[in-house]
């Protein structure tokens, strides 16, 4: 078994480059880390280009079928020092994979609701939102051009595997994408502290729900084309909620109505 011991190895250098968005775009690839994510990637039939395993990696907690699938991939072993040079977490499990980005399709206008993000910046927020959407069995999300990269390692980790199941529609101009949704019979709904209508007295049929930037909220140009403005009612002194929390509340109001039928 050959073990890579140099950080200057071409495989290692190429993986390190994938920590930057421009190289993820050039290579059409991104990094996933940890056995759970890699197992999900295999189960969801993601295209795995490379797996890197630390020589000290313990496979005791991996089922035989998963280990067999890992062994079938383009697998290389590295020393601990080399692995520490490519890992993005403080306590790594000792296994990393390079995955090909899936082709993002156009929006599917058959779903009841679509979540759209207007310049979300926090990777944890985006990852949690993707995970929430996946938990509600929704299959897509629209993101503005300036939203944090969905393939950012922190985003990927916090999706807990949802990234393999969600179609991410990257809008060059979010306003144009929303206008297109309107042509397909959708109404655009935004959150606004100025609204007197709350999320519990609107319907959730054929709606694009826009979640705004953490600091600035929904942009002015998006508010101007919105069909509905709603507020999440709060009984305490807090005036606003974290973007991922707000998304979860609205998505699960949709879920509550869905299952009550």
DSSP state string for 102-135: PPPPPPPTTSSEEEEEES---HHHHHHHHHHHHH
Residue 155 sits in the same domain as residue 256: yes
- The list of the chain residues with pLDDT below 50 reads none
Residue 249 sits in the same domain as residue 124: yes
Residue 94 sits in the same domain as residue 129: no
**Per-residue pLDDT, 1:** 63
Number of domains in the chain: 2
Question: Is there a domain that residue 231 lies in?
Answer: yes
**Per-residue pLDDT, 213:** 94
Residue 39 sits in the same domain as residue 90: yes
How many C-beta atoms surround the C-beta of residue 16 within 10 A? Answer: 14
**Per-residue pLDDT, 239:** 74
β-pairing, 113-118 with 140-144? Answer: parallel
Residue 58 sits in the same domain as residue 118: no
Residue 119 sits in the same domain as residue 162: yes
pTM recorded for the entire structure: 0.91
- The CATH number for 225's domain is 3.40.1280.10
Residues β-bridged to residue 3: 77
Residue 151 sits in the same domain as residue 219: yes
Sheet holding 95-100, edge to edge: 3-4, 75-78, 48-54, 95-100, 29-33
User: What does each C-alpha distance from 93 to 37, 60, 124, 153 come to in angstroms?
Assistant: 11, 12, 20, 15
**Per-residue pLDDT, 194:** 80
Residue 229 sits in the same domain as residue 156: yes
* pLDDT tens-place string over residues 97-110: 999 998 878 999 99
What is the C-alpha separation between 255 and 132, in angstroms, rounded? 11
Domain final residue, candidates 100, 124, 153: 100
Question: Is there a domain that residue 107 lies in?
Answer: no
Comparing C-alpha atoms, which of 111, 222, 124 is closest to residue 171? Answer: 222
Four-CA torsion 198, 202, 204, 209, nearest 10 degrees: -40
β-pairing, 167-171 with 140-144? Answer: parallel
Give the range of the structural domain holding residue 159, as residue numbers without chain letter: 113-260
How many C-beta atoms surround the C-beta of residue 98 within 10 A? Answer: 21
Domain final residue, candidates 38, 67, 100: 100
Residue 200 sits in the same domain as residue 124: yes
* pLDDT tens-place string over residues 27-52: 999 999 999 999 999 999 999 999 99
Residue 95 sits in the same domain as residue 124: no
Question: Is there a domain that residue 105 lies in?
Answer: no
- The CATH number for 84's domain is 3.30.1330.30
Q: How many residues does the chain have?
A: 261
Residue 92 sits in the same domain as residue 137: no
The C-alpha angle with vertex 132 and arms to 128 and 137, in degrees rounded to 5, equals 145
């Amino acid at each position: 078994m050959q073990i890579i011991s140099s950080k200057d190895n071409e495989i290692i250098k190429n993986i390190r480059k994938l920590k930057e968005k421009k190289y993820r775009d050039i290579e059409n690839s991104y990094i996933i880390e940890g056995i759970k994510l890699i197992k999900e990637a295999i189960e969801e039939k993601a295209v795995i280009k490379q797996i890197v395993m630390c020589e000290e990696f313990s496979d005791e907690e991996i089922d035989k079928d998963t280990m067999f699938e890992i062994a079938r991939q383009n697998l290389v072993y590295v020393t601990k020092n080399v692995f520490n040079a490519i890992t993005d977490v403080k306590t790594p499990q000792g296994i990393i994979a390079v995955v090909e980005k899936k082709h993002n399709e156009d929006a599917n206008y058959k779903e009841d609701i679509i979540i759209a993000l207007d310049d979300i910046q926090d990777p944890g927020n985006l990852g949690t939102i993707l995970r929430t959407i996946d938990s509600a069995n929704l299959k897509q999300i629209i993101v503005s051009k300036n939203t944090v990269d969905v393939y950012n390692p922190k985003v990927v980790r916090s999706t807990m595997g949802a990234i393999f199941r969600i179609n991410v529609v990257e809008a060059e101009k979010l306003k144009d994408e929303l206008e297109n949704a309107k042509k397909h019979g959708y109404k655009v709904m935004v959150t606004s502290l100025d609204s007197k209508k709350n999320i519990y007295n609107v319907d959730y049929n054929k709606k694009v729900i826009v979640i705004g930037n953490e600091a600035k909220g929904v942009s002015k140009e998006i508010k101007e084309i919105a069909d509905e403005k709603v507020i999440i009612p709060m009984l305490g002194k807090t005036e606003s909620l974290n973007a991922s929390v707000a998304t979860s509340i609205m998505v699960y109001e949709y879920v509550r109505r869905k299952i009550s039928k």
